[in-house]
Structure 1
Amino acid sequence: MRSLLQRLQFYFLYSNITITMHTRRLIAGLLAAALLLACEDRKLPYLGEPETITRTVAGKSIREKSYPSIPAFSFTNQDNRPVTELDFKDKIYIADFFFTTCPTICPVMKKNMLKVYDEVKDNPTVRILSHTIDPEHDTPAVLKTYANDLGVRNATWQFVTGDRGKIYEIGQKHYLITAAEDAKSPGGFLHSGHFVLLDKDRHIRGMYDGTTDEGTYELIRDIRTLLKEYE
C-alpha cells in the first residue's frame, strides 16, 4: 500500500508529462482510495509485555506470543449488583479510574467519557467500566446518584466499587494505570487520567489521555477500528 502511494505521489509531483485536469482528478481519486484502504486495514497494537507460549496444533508445536489480559474480577455497580468479567464476555470496553469527590481531573474525564458514551451507548457490544478508588465514600448509592447526574440511563456504562486493595491491584498491575491513596494529592487520592481500551479477550489495545479532547477523539476513532476487527 505504501509503495502504491509513493508511486502515485512521485508521478503526480515529479512527472515531466503534461497532466490534464482529468488525470489530476484520477490520481487524486486513486490516492484517496489507497488511503481509505490503508485506514480500513489498520489494526490496533497489543499493549503489555508478551510471553512466548508453545501450543500443539495438528501434532506440531507452535511458538507464539501471548499478551497479558485483565484477570477475573468481581465488583459492585451503581445498582448494587455484582459485576464480573463475565458481564464483558464478547464485548470490547473502556476502563478508567476516578472518585466522585475528585476536585481536579475527574470532572474533565467524565465530561470526555460522556462523549464516548454518546458514541457507544446504543451498541450492545461496547461497555464502559469506571472504578472508584475511594470505595469507602463511593457506595453504590453514591455512584447511582453520580451516574444519574451524568445522564447515564442504561447498562452501557457501569460504575463500580469494591475492595480497595483489589481495585488498586487490578488498576496498577493489569490496567497499567496509577491508583493509590496519597495525602499530598488533591482529594487524598492519586490516579492517572487515562482511558484504557480493551478487546473481547480483555487485552489492552490502547491508552488515551482522558483529560484532553485529542485523547478522547483518538479513543473514539480506535473504538471504531477495533470493532472492525470483529466484523
Structure 2
Amino acid sequence: MDSITILQTLIAVVPVRDVIYVAALCGVCAALMPWLPVPASAGSVYGRLYAVLNLLAQNFRNVANRAQPGAAPGKDGGGMAAIMLALGLGVAASLGACATIGGSTRIDTAELAADAGAIDFAAQAIEAIPGLSAHLSTDQVARVNNALTQIRTITAQVDAASGGAIDIETGKGWASSLAGEFQTILTIAGTVASALDPAVAGYIATAEQIIPLIEAAVGLAPASVSVAAAGDAPAVRAALYRGV
C-alpha cells in the first residue's frame, strides 16, 4: 500500500469529530521523526512502520526529515523501540488534545440538571403569574404553552441522565433547546411586564441570567463566561426558586 492510498484510507475511516486526534498524532510524529533512525530496508517491519509515521508527520516537499527507508545506512531492529515510543506519545497527545480543545467529549450532568430544574421552575412560575394570559394574544399563549411542554420534556431527559456522564453533543443540544424555549417565554412575558406587578420585570431580568449559565455548563459559552458561571449559577438558581 503506497503513501497516498494510506492517506486516503485514513481520511475515509476517521470521523470528522475525531480529526483533533489525528491532528495531535501528526504533530507528535513530526516532532519525533528527526530523532528516529532511517531504516536500512523499506520492506522490513520497521521500514513499513517508519513509512507510515513519515506520512503522518506530513514529511513532504521541503522538510529536512523526509529520508526514505534504504536511502542511507540505517538499522531495522533497534528502531522498533523508537517507533513504539513515538506511537505511545502520539496517542497520549491525542487524548490530551481532546481534553484541552473544546472540552471533554463527555460531561457530568450535575450542573446541567441543576440549571434545567431552575429553568423548568421559573418557566412555570412565569406562566402562572396572575393576569399574564389576559394580556397575551391567542398565538402568544400557544407559544408559551408549547415552550413549557418542550422545557418539561427536555428537563425530564436531563433528570433521567443525572448522576452520570453524557456525550458533549447531547448536552449541548439539551442546553441549546432549553435556552431557546425559555427565551421565548421570557420575551413574550417581557412584552406585557409593564402591565403587571412591578416584581415581574425584575424576575424576568433575573431569569435571563440563567441562559448564559446553562450554555456555559456544556461549553456553548465563551471561556470567560464559563469561569464566572461557576460562582454565579447557584445564586441565580436560588433567586429563580424564590419565585416572582
Structure whose residues are more often helix by fraction? 2
Normalised by the length of structure 1, the TM-score is: 0.29
Structure of higher RCO (CA pairs closer than 8 Å, 6+ residues apart): 1
Normalised by the length of structure 2, the TM-score is: 0.28
**Larger Rg computed on CA atoms:** 2
Structure whose residues are more often strand by fraction? 1
